[in-house]
Amino acid sequence: MKIGILTYHRAENYGALLQAYATKTYLESLGHEVSFVDYWPKYHSDYFKVFSWKSFLHSSLKSKLVKLNRLMIMGHMLYKRKHTMQQFMHEQLGLSNQPEYEDRKSVTKKYDAVIYGSDQIWRKQHLGGVLFDDWYFGSDNVRADKKIVYAGSMGKIDTDDSDDIYVKEQMSHFDHIAVRESDLQIYLQRLGVEAVQVIDPVFLLSKEQWESLFIPSFKKGRYILFYNLLNTQESVSFVKQLSKQTGLPIYEITKKTSFYSHYAHLINNASVGQFLGLVKGAEYVVSNSFHGVAFSLIFEKQFFAVGMEGKANRVISLLDSAGINDRYISSTQFKISVSQINYKIIDNRIEDIIMKSKSYLNNALL
């Protein structure tokens, strides 16, 4: 079967790239011919630009000076990070330098089936004047005999009455619908849309399959990995306290670019393989990222999810499924318990969800 995947496959972050890789790899293991529906409109590509002349020209003088200073100091680091992410896209996802479909009015070639998801493909973009993008809701721009949602996500559900009408109408474009979060499943059911809940595609691959990608950690000895995408005060305070309590150094991966941190050793340009190796090699993982938590579970790490604010629903839903919601820390008034997670129990729970998720996808493709 000729299958297309429509997701955020060119987003320059570890989670987006690895969920795309997992969906493609799993479908190929079933014997299908798989490629990405290479839709990447301007509002997406503009968001990931290292430097935007348009933004620069419309900035105040003070803002211009800040942007130029940042580019001069951090430019090499920023471009190196971008190159690292794009190298994975080319080598592991089979993508070319330029997206095939950048115009929102384009029409794709014909597929036997298109898989929509995972990642937050249904969130409001708030980029370039775009809110909901019809492409991700099964529009006629994508030509396929079957349109299947796997682990679709909206992130934080922030909808009004007109949004509800739009979402309900768009769901009729899909032959099968499976979402990643329980709150999204409940929301769709409230709209009269039937949807099942499945697990994120990174869990469709085994730990051994992921280990074939990773580069062993270049950090020797015991350490705490801090995967800090949201840069919230709660997560920073937590990881500092954990370091003090355990005596372990902190290695931090973050979206921000900096040469110095007063509490952590910064890792600015880890490849995707090195990211996996750093998670695998850590004594503890502290993360405010969904996929930081997901790979902690896959590699059976001792971990904490902290400081996700309004974006916590994804992680809470996953931890509820695994039966360890105590690993989500929601308050600044926390007492750290370093009790060990019993993965003999957790793995059985997750394996059951994985099997049900695979069954859904396999049956949807029949």
The CATH number of residue 246's host domain is 3.40.50.2000
**33 & 105 share domain:** yes
Give the domain CATH number at 199.
Answer: 3.40.50
Q: What's the rounded mean pLDDT across residues 183-198?
A: 97
pLDDT tens-digit readout, 9-56? 999 999 999 999 999 999 999 999 999 999 999 999 988 786 665 665
- Residue 305: which of 353, 349, 261, 242 has the closest Cα? 242
Residue 270 within any structural domain of the chain: yes
The single-letter DSSP state of residue 101 is B
Q: Can you give the pLDDT at residue 311?
A: 79
pLDDT beyond 70 at 298: yes
Residue 81 within any structural domain of the chain: no
Q: Can you give the pLDDT at residue 33?
A: 98
**265 & 315 share domain:** yes
**153 & 264 share domain:** no
**166 & 260 share domain:** no
Residue 300 within any structural domain of the chain: yes
- Residues comprising the chain, all counted: 366
**267 & 326 share domain:** yes
pLDDT tens-digit readout, 70-79? 666 666 677 8
Q: Can you give the pLDDT at residue 77?
A: 75
**193 & 266 share domain:** no
**187 & 241 share domain:** no
Cα–chain-centroid distance for residue 130?
20
| Domain span holding position 119 | 2-46+94-205+355-364
Residue 56 within any structural domain of the chain: no
Q: Can you give the pLDDT at residue 273?
A: 94
CB within 8 A of 102, min separation 6: which ones? 39, 40, 41, 42, 45
CB 227 within 8 A of CB 306: no
**187 & 272 share domain:** no
Q: What are phi and psi of 171, to 5 degrees?
A: -65, -20
CB within 8 A of 135, min separation 6: which ones? 6, 39, 41, 104, 141, 142
How many independent structural domains does the chain possess? 2
Residue 60 within any structural domain of the chain: no
Between the ranges 60-74, 165-179, 224-238, 256-270, where is the mean pLDDT highest? 165-179
**33 & 171 share domain:** yes
Residue 84 within any structural domain of the chain: no
pLDDT tens-digit readout, 86-127? 999 999 999 999 999 999 999 999 999 999 998 899 998 877
SS3 201: helix
Residue 58 within any structural domain of the chain: no
**126 & 158 share domain:** yes
Where do we find the tokens 């372990």? 248
Q: What are phi and psi of 58, to 5 degrees?
A: -95, 10
Q: What's the rounded mean pLDDT across residues 293-322?
A: 92
Residue 184 within any structural domain of the chain: yes
**169 & 192 share domain:** yes
Share of the chain above pLDDT 90, in %: 71
**39 & 135 share domain:** yes
